[in-house]
Amino acid sequence: MKQQMKQLMIVLVALLVVNLAHAVEVAGVRFDDRSKLGNSDIVVNGAGLRKKAFFKVYAMALYLPEKQGEADAVLSAKGAKRVSISLLRDLSAQQFVEALQEGVANNHSEAEMEALKERLKLFSDAMLSVGEAKTGTSVLIDWIPESGTRLSVNGQAKGKDIAGEDFYRALLKIWLGNKPVQDDLKQALLGKAS
């Protein structure tokens, strides 16, 4: 009996270690280290915390087909991609949209913004349809090569998929562009966080 208990404990500890090895944790939010998007396998490239002043706003993880350590490599990488965001405070959809629009505008010229305008409005309208995003809300922004950028909130797709990989890259630049929303978050998403 004692030997069986000891073996059971070893198995449980091994399972716990394996389980911990397959997750990244940021501010109490666990992100799987790999996922499936359509027919593609993706791995967590990095994860970090978005803060504004003293407030924790959201935890997020970036998933790619394979790990990349430089922003340019991420932006030019082919294949499925995912930005996974878990809100750590209540936000209105309007606040979320304004922050996204500002992040895109900060990393693009007026001419580039003009080319993105219609699609950014579609994406913003889909986000606004959510109304309010409470603490714990899960937001996925996926690039699915066959269909485009897909927004999902708490597991439900919002709006229609938006064509053009340039649009997804524009969204990624919010966090990975030359003027990222937060420098240490950019480094964390590139897997360089301390």
Q: Which residue ranges form the domains of the chain, and what is each CATH number?
A: 34-189 (3.50.70.10)
CA distances from 78 to 73, 81, 166 (A): 10, 9, 12
How many angstroms separate the CA atoms of 31 and 84, rounded?
8
Q: Are 148 and 111 in contact (CB under 8 A)?
A: no
Res 52: pLDDT? 86
In this prediction the pTM is 0.85
**Residue 171 pLDDT greater than 80, yes or no:** yes
What is residue 143's predicted lDDT score, i.e. its pLDDT?
A: 96
pLDDT at 22: 57
What is the pLDDT at residue 2? 61
The pair of structure tokens assigned to 104 is: 């895109």
Rounded to 5°, the CA angle 126-132-134 comes to 125
Question: DSSP assignment of 39-56, as one string?
Answer: TEEEEEEEEEEEEETTEE
